[in-house]
Amino acid sequence: MALAGYRNGSAVINQLLVDGDLRNVRRFCFSGGQTLDYDAMLGRVRSSSYAPREGPEHAAMIEQLSANFDRYAAGGEVRLVYRVDVYLGEKA
């Protein structure tokens, strides 16, 4: 299911790194995560700007969220794992 407003940043990052006239570019990677029960997971999904707010896409999203939560939860919680890449460079 495509989510309205979601943008994959890789094309933008590539453009900035290749065409951005940057030098001394460095990448830093950070990891983290959240452990959520169903209500917290639902709130997390609903707070995403690209999540559908109403209609059939919203209903399908909630149905899939519930199915995935039931499938992957352990002890009534799921763990979301994040990786964040930060690029720093100097304008030439």
- As for how many domains the chain has, the answer is 1
pLDDT tens per residue across span 42-72: 999 999 988 999 999 999 999 999 999 999 9
Q: Output the pLDDT for position 77.
A: 98
User: Is 86 inside a domain boundary?
Assistant: yes
State both tokens at 58: 């919203």
pLDDT tens figures, 25-46: 888 999 999 999 999 999 999 9
Segments forming the whole domain that contains residue 31? 10-91
As a whole number of angstroms, the distance between CA 46 and CA 51 comes to 6
Provide the 3-class DSSP secondary structure of residue 24: strand
More confident residue, 48 or 22: 48
* 1 domain-assigned: no
Does the pTM surpass 0.75? The reply is no
Which has the closest alpha carbon to 92: 29, 27, 28, 16? 16
Helix (H, G, I), strand (E, B) or coil at 48: coil
